[in-house]
Chain A
């Protein structure tokens, strides 16, 4: 079997997803047995002309959100060249943290930014590179081009990234190595991976349930009586964080990480996107927190609610452009 041709690219993002690909440790060397890396600006310094020289790519791992015109162009180019497009990481899959600019409050700043860049483009100074124009808002990759697979996470966890690489690049030629991820993936997908066939299109390389299902903490009666920020309460093990007054989003978030953050006392931030059964992560969190307030007095409740800051930014931290029922726009299928 000829080696697969691979492209790895980050649009607007921090490149932690590309680091995560390097972070599959010694498996990086076995990756080289199955794939030729045709285009990877971050690591091999590839140029766009290298991509144009390629006739066809097999798999493209695209990370980062679409924020600028250059990002959009890159997405379109890579989609055209690649047989399989993978949205790698929360930004590409859901819009990620840059996507919070789509909140209505951001609109004034957005207008100003747009103006300054437009002005800059009218009179480019000689010899200086031009900044690409900003898009009016941030989009996830799936809202620009058709995406075949998603690997969520910020950054994606090693096991699912390896599972994705195994199934899309290596065709499951060493299935034993993915047993950990396979155990957490929905059965149909893990079976497909193990038998070396491609999982169905649109597959998310993550679990199905909520993070709470795999979180190691003890869940008792939920009674929310004070809002705390993560630095105000730290408990490395023991009781459920939501019960302690921390805004832990495990309840709405897709499982798969195995409760990495909650295990060390950090409330879940929701980087795997919403769980299958959740309609809207913000509404679900309002329901989860609100209905457990330990009070029957309206004034007391509204005093408690006053302590909460930046609800939309917290509940849709990674998912605003795609999973917020009110502010998201449809994907390209």
Chain B
């Protein structure tokens, strides 16, 4: 699978992770071009349906990035994301989505280098997992 390029959908919160991604771009950190960013107001609004829909529509990985716990612009939105993520991960694994394809990460607005590194790391991980195709029985 050397020529496989994963598609990763990233839901980034407007106040931290998106700013970090933006800064990482402006600062010209080297990043793998596999991530498609969708800006959301808060990780608290990333319904598990969005993640499932991304996988169903052909994403190989989904990244949800938000503010560190306690730093949420809306006070408790990222806690909601934090509570959903383990349960969603468990459900995804039962449906044949390997762990590593879905990640919830805390990225502060000033974490631009860390964001670039995370993107590269996740891109490599998902690349080694190979393309994702749901096991639909015909």
A279 near B53: Cβ-Cβ < 8 Å: yes
- Between A and B, how many residue pairs show CB distances below 8 Å? 105
Task: Write out the residue numbers on chain A whose beta carbons fall within 8 Å of the beta carbon of B85.
Answer: 290
B86 near A283: Cβ-Cβ < 8 Å: no
What is the interface of chain B mostly: helix, strand, loop, or mixed? helix
Q: Which of B82-103 contact A (CB under 8 A)?
A: 82-88, 90-91, 94-97
Of the residues A103, A284, A291, A310, contact of B83 by C-beta under 8 Å: A291
A301 to B79 Cα, complex, angstroms? 11
Q: Which of A107, A137, A286, A291 has the most CB of B within 10 A?
A: A286
A318 to B137 Cα, complex, angstroms? 17
The reply to whether the CB of A298 lies closer than 8 angstroms to some CB of chain B is: yes
The reply to whether the CB of A280 lies closer than 8 angstroms to some CB of chain B is: yes
Please give the distance in Å from B91's CB to the nearest CB on chain A. 4
Task: Write out the residue numbers on chain A whose beta carbons fall within 8 Å of the beta carbon of B96.
Answer: 103-104, 327
Q: Which of B47, B49, B80 has the most CB of A within 10 A?
A: B49
A292 to B69 Cα, complex, angstroms? 16
Of the residues B49, B84, B95, B136, contact of A290 by C-beta under 8 Å: B84
B80 near A291: Cβ-Cβ < 8 Å: yes
Of the residues A312, A325, A327, contact of B49 by C-beta under 8 Å: A325
The reply to whether the CB of B25 lies closer than 8 angstroms to some CB of chain A is: no
Task: Write out the residue numbers on chain A whose beta carbons fall within 8 Å of the beta carbon of B38.
Answer: none
Interface size class of A (residues with CB under 8 A): 35 or more
The reply to whether the CB of B135 lies closer than 8 angstroms to some CB of chain A is: yes
Contact A305/B95 with A102-B137, A279-B49 known, Cβ cut-off 8 Å = no
A103 to B135 Cα, complex, angstroms? 8
Q: Which of B60-117 contact A (CB under 8 A)?
A: 69, 79-80, 82-88, 90-91, 94-97
A86-111 Cβ-contact flags toward B at 8 Å (1 or 0): 00000000000000001111010000
Task: Write out the residue numbers on chain B whose beta carbons fall within 8 Å of the beta carbon of A286.
Answer: 48, 84, 87-88, 91
B136 near A327: Cβ-Cβ < 8 Å: yes
Other 18 A-B pairs with CB < 8 A, given A137-B137, A290-B86? A102-B137, A107-B135, A279-B53, A280-B53, A283-B49, A283-B91, A284-B49, A286-B87, A290-B80, A290-B83, A290-B88, A311-B87, A312-B91, A325-B49, A325-B56, A326-B55, A326-B95, A329-B136
